[in-house]
Structure 1
Amino acid sequence: MIKINLTKRIWLAFVSLIVLVVLSITIVYPLSIRGTLTEETYRLIENDVRQLLSGENDYFPFQPGFYQAREQRSTVSYSFRLSEAGVSYIDPRLVPPYEVNNEIVQNALEQKGQHGRYETTIDEQTLFYVITKISDSQFLVTYMWDTYRDEMVNRLWERLLYLLLLASALSLFPAIWLKHYLRQPLAVLENHLEQIANRNWQEPLRWEGDKDFERLSYQFERMRQNLNSYDRAQKTFIQHASHELKTPIMVIKSYSQSVKDGILPKENLEQTMDVITEEANRMERRVIDMLYYTKLDQMKKDQLNVGPFPFGKLAYQIEERFRYQRDDVTISVEGAEVIVEADIEQCEVLLENLVENGLRYAKHRLYIRAEQDERNCYLIVENEGEPIDADLTKLFNPFYKGNKGKFGLGLAIVKQIAELHRGSARVENIDDGVRFTITLPKTIKPKPIEPKRKERRKEAKADKKER
């Protein structure tokens, strides 16, 4: 396919349209106009016949001869009578040549009705004639050359040519206007796209005028804002990730150097190495969380393994897993019979993060509960303790930290998993603690995720094995 710019496309379309119109007229016009003028010629002949028969005209003596009529573009009438002696004419000078006259007489004899239309060719010109039957033996012949028709065709052709030239000249103005009309917004869009290609998406795009270009500019502006937000989020993520990894690395580095220098920061070597191991595990958990979180968007390319399962099947496993992390907190499971429609492995990661977060602040009890209504299923993790003194709307943001919280990605992962199931996550302070509620629709049209389930499970649970 030949690649040409917009201006050339407009002019090519304009020229093609003109050529198409000219070709259409060249082909269709001669056929239609000649047929129309031929009909008009017969109409003129028949009109003269009616006037002649009605007595309005009596111009037999004043008519030109057969060949002279061709130059004067007029009708000529003559009559002939058939008898046993042959054919007799009133004015022989009006009679066509012998071959043509024989054809006329033969057509008259074969004619059924009172009037008949005929045509013949003489010296590459057409002769139109009408035979009128006056009696069984007398006929009136009125003829006319094609001179009148051809002159009218040529005259109309000449006028049509002028009109085409004028229309082509006038059509240049809308073509030029269309070129500028399309080029201006496209040039603005091209400039902004060039800026985005250079990672400069700070300048907004606003176009007022044509509705189509307004919609295009609106979609472009949405893209620019999303890119800008993504860029800020990426930079923030890198900053927080660097901060999260910096502290354990510094601890490991300082303790390792102390051991190398023969200085034990703790009472003995074992305790010192325990600190290094704990910080290494902490750093490992952060890396696993970051890898899992960054993979969530890529997981939308494949399908979730959604299926029904009883809530208790998952909840009791998590309760057993976290039962001995805090002896002073009792974990209770409610709504074990509720059927949940979701990806069970994703829900396991979701509940683990919520329970781990709740145990960090619970005083005496923590509840893992499932509820349902006609449309949704609700997974609830509720703990007794102090309310959250922070902006609850930002709690699910990556690395967001409340007044007494910790930096992390656990709640951000919870939100991502809920949204993958077309659901939502929310948190609220209640009278005696904090409640996290995950809403999952019963009829799920899941977003696609990555099918590497064993790898995801291993990454999501690696930090749990260390606890």
Structure 2
Amino acid sequence: MKIKSINSKLMLAFLGVIIFFAVITYFLLVGAFNNYYHEDIYRVLEDNIDNNQKITDIEKFINDSEDNRSIEQLFWTKINGQFTRKEARRTNLITSELTEDIIKNIENNINNQQDESRRYYIDVNGRKLFYVITKYELSYSNKLYVVPKLFDKPKITRINNTLYRVALRWEPLDDSLEKNLFNQMGIGLLLTIIAILIIFFFLSRHLTRPIINLSNSVKEISKRKFDSPITIKRNDEIGFLASTVEEMRKELLKYDEEQKMKLHSISHELKTPIMIIQSYVDALKKGLYPKGTPESSLEIIDDECCRLQKLVYNLLYIQRLDYFESELKNKDKINLKEVVEEVINNMSMKLENFQTEIKMDNVYINADFNQMKIVVENILSNQIRYADSIINISLEKDKDSVDLRFYNDGEHIQDSNDIFIMFKKGKNGQSGLGLYIVKRLLDINGASIVAYNETKGVAFKIQWKL
């Protein structure tokens, strides 16, 4: 599976990154320990250094220096540019390891040093020798030099003397402590890597297992199998995604059931007029007239053909409603009064049989003119079908809304919500599509519609919120 392949690659990449940073961390820790260790050696070598100390007796200063057996001290004097090595009365075993090359290297450092004190180290056969060179200015009485020329007077000359103290210390031969420390650091980093990998393994399973399950559920949905609910319950992004997919599954299931119901209802609605037309045509072929005369029988066929034509038109228009909902359209500013008046004029012959009261103001809304015309036509046709003798139409606007109201004095409706459902027909209904189309078109144009019973009759109210 691709998810497992991605998971394996991710784990390998994560392992590589962890090892890379572990190696870098190890060497940084080793370097930090070495730096600290070397710094500690230099601090020992620099202990008790006082550059401001006044030295008047070189021999006394050398022999009175602290007898620290962990370090070795060497001394040089520089008198008017001439270097001389001074020996202390005591010796140390470390001195025996100082070769002439080491001594020369130290003397070169002394000759080139400008600072009062400076740190140095050299590698000798894989072992480090650390030393600190400290410079002292000597301040004792000037000495007289007699110029060896006859009859010349003695000449007093100040001698420029400098004392250099070299404190040395070898790196210990026994490095078992350092090795043990480095080994422990390595083991600690290795255990850390293993722990991180274990945590990553269980974390990746915790993350990828619901993703795999969600992927399988989506595949089932793609096969139009909407019956299995998604049961992933988490409070993170994966849980949010799972709940979103579950909502999509429910909507698809609802849509699929609606389509099946629609197909079943369509087939039933189409079958009835087709069967009537077919039976009447068969009767006419045999010379029979179900309505008594050929004209009456043909009129029935014509009525059923008109009914079938209107049914097919409405079904095709319902399919277009999905396109209307998703299409990005610029709605026009229209006068709703003009829409209603045009429909009333087109249906004036049918309205002559009713007592009508029309009260409308000029009201402008943003909507599609043709769609609003279909809405008014369908509602007015419904009023004509169910009214006894009275039909009233009113259109008014206040500061909060625009209200278009239709009233007829016909029978009360049983359930005001069901009448807007597809194929839900009333007592004298034809196809059960007219009011469904009205509801869908009003939703598309940002309006709402309600139907309610009054003391006598039924009212339909369409409202646009301002």
State the TM-score, normalizing by the size of structure 1: 0.79
Structure-1 residue corresponding to 2:116: 114
**Higher RCO (CA 8 Å, separation ≥ 6 residues):** 1
2:264 to 234, 239, 244: 239
Structure-2 residue corresponding to 1:428: 452
Structure-2 residue corresponding to 1:342: 367
- The separation in 2 between residues aligned to 1:224 and 1:35, in whole angstroms, is 59
- The separation in 1 between residues aligned to 2:464 and 2:319, in whole angstroms, is 22
Q: Report the Cα offset of residue 289 of structure 1.
A: 0.5
Q: Does 1:135 align with 2:137?
A: yes
Q: Report the Cα offset of residue 286 of structure 1.
A: 0.3
- The separation in 1 between residues aligned to 2:324 and 2:46, in whole angstroms, is 92
Structure 2 contact 448–462 (Cα < 8 Å) conserved: yes
Q: Does 1:90 align with 2:114?
A: no
| Alpha-carbon distance change, 117 to 406 in structure 1, aligned in 2, over 3 angstroms | same
Structure 1 contact 133–140 (Cα < 8 Å) conserved: yes
5 Å matches for 1:103-252? 103-122=105-124, 126-136=128-138, 137-145=162-170, 155-208=180-233, 210-252=235-277
- The separation in 1 between residues aligned to 2:36 and 2:246, in whole angstroms, is 65
Q: Which moved more, 1:357-366 or 1:278-287?
A: 357-366
Structure 2 contact 273–307 (Cα < 8 Å) conserved: yes
2:67 to 58, 61, 85: 58
Structure 1 contact 363–385 (Cα < 8 Å) conserved: yes
Measured on the aligned residues, the alpha-carbon RMSD in Å equals: 3.2
- The separation in 1 between residues aligned to 2:381 and 2:352, in whole angstroms, is 14
Structure 2 contact 76–83 (Cα < 8 Å) conserved: no
Q: Does 1:45 align with 2:42?
A: yes
Q: Deviations over 1:111-164 (max 9, x none)?
A: 444321234455576543211123342111123456679877655442232123
Q: Report the Cα offset of residue 396 of structure 1.
A: 0.3
| Alpha-carbon distance change, 131 to 94 in structure 1, aligned in 2, over 3 angstroms | farther
Structure-2 residue corresponding to 1:26: 23
- The separation in 2 between residues aligned to 1:366 and 1:139, in whole angstroms, is 123
5 Å matches for 1:309-320? 309-320=334-345
- The separation in 2 between residues aligned to 1:191 and 1:201, in whole angstroms, is 12
Q: Name stretches of at least 5 consecutive residues in structure 1 with no aligned partner.
A: 63-73, 443-467
- Give aligned-pair identity as a percent: 25
- The separation in 2 between residues aligned to 1:80 and 1:401, in whole angstroms, is 120
Q: Deviations over 1:60-105 (max 9, x none)?
A: xx6xxxxxxxxxxx64332222235632231694695555544533
Q: Report the Cα offset of residue 392 of structure 1.
A: 0.8
Aligned-partner SS, 1:309: strand
- The separation in 2 between residues aligned to 1:35 and 1:299, in whole angstroms, is 72
| Alpha-carbon distance change, 333 to 120 in structure 1, aligned in 2, over 3 angstroms | farther
- The separation in 1 between residues aligned to 2:2 and 2:173, in whole angstroms, is 50
- The separation in 2 between residues aligned to 1:31 and 1:100, in whole angstroms, is 31
Structure 1 contact 37–149 (Cα < 8 Å) conserved: no
Count of aligned pairs: 425
Q: Name stretches of at least 5 consecutive residues in structure 2 with no aligned partner.
A: 51-60, 139-161
- The separation in 2 between residues aligned to 1:31 and 1:188, in whole angstroms, is 44
| Alpha-carbon distance change, 416 to 425 in structure 1, aligned in 2, over 3 angstroms | same
Q: Does 1:76 align with 2:72?
A: yes
2:308 to 271, 280, 283: 283
- The separation in 1 between residues aligned to 2:394 and 2:71, in whole angstroms, is 108
Q: Does 1:356 align with 2:356?
A: no
2:461 to 437, 441, 444: 437
Aligned-partner SS, 1:221: helix
Letter in structure 1 aligned against 2:75: S
Letter in structure 2 aligned against 1:392: S
Q: Deviations over 1:362-417 (max 9, x none)?
A: 233323322223343222222232322x2111110001123454432110011101
2:441 to 417, 426, 447: 417
| Alpha-carbon distance change, 254 to 32 in structure 1, aligned in 2, over 3 angstroms | same
Q: Report the Cα offset of residue 233 of structure 1.
A: 1.4
- The separation in 1 between residues aligned to 2:7 and 2:106, in whole angstroms, is 59
| Alpha-carbon distance change, 30 to 209 in structure 1, aligned in 2, over 3 angstroms | closer
Q: Does 1:256 align with 2:254?
A: no
- The separation in 1 between residues aligned to 2:174 and 2:263, in whole angstroms, is 88
Q: Deviations over 1:280-322 (max 9, x none)?
A: 1110100110111122112223223412222222111111001
1:377 to 402, 418, 429: 402
Letter in structure 2 aligned against 1:407: S
1:327 to 352, 360, 363: 352
- The separation in 2 between residues aligned to 1:176 and 1:46, in whole angstroms, is 48
Q: Deviations over 1:299-353 (max 9, x none)?
A: 2232234122222221111110011024211444422311122111111111111
| Alpha-carbon distance change, 132 to 343 in structure 1, aligned in 2, over 3 angstroms | same
Q: Report the Cα offset of residue 36 of structure 1.
A: 5.4
Q: Which moved more, 1:290-299 or 1:48-57?
A: 48-57
Q: Deviations over 1:402-459 (max 9, x none)?
A: 34544321100111011112322211112332111222234xxxxxxxxxxxxxxxxx
State the TM-score, normalizing by the size of structure 2: 0.80
Structure 2 contact 45–168 (Cα < 8 Å) conserved: no
- The separation in 2 between residues aligned to 1:386 and 1:425, in whole angstroms, is 19
Pick the structure with more helix per residue: 1
| Alpha-carbon distance change, 179 to 34 in structure 1, aligned in 2, over 3 angstroms | closer
Letter in structure 1 aligned against 2:426: G
Which has the larger Rg? Answer: 2
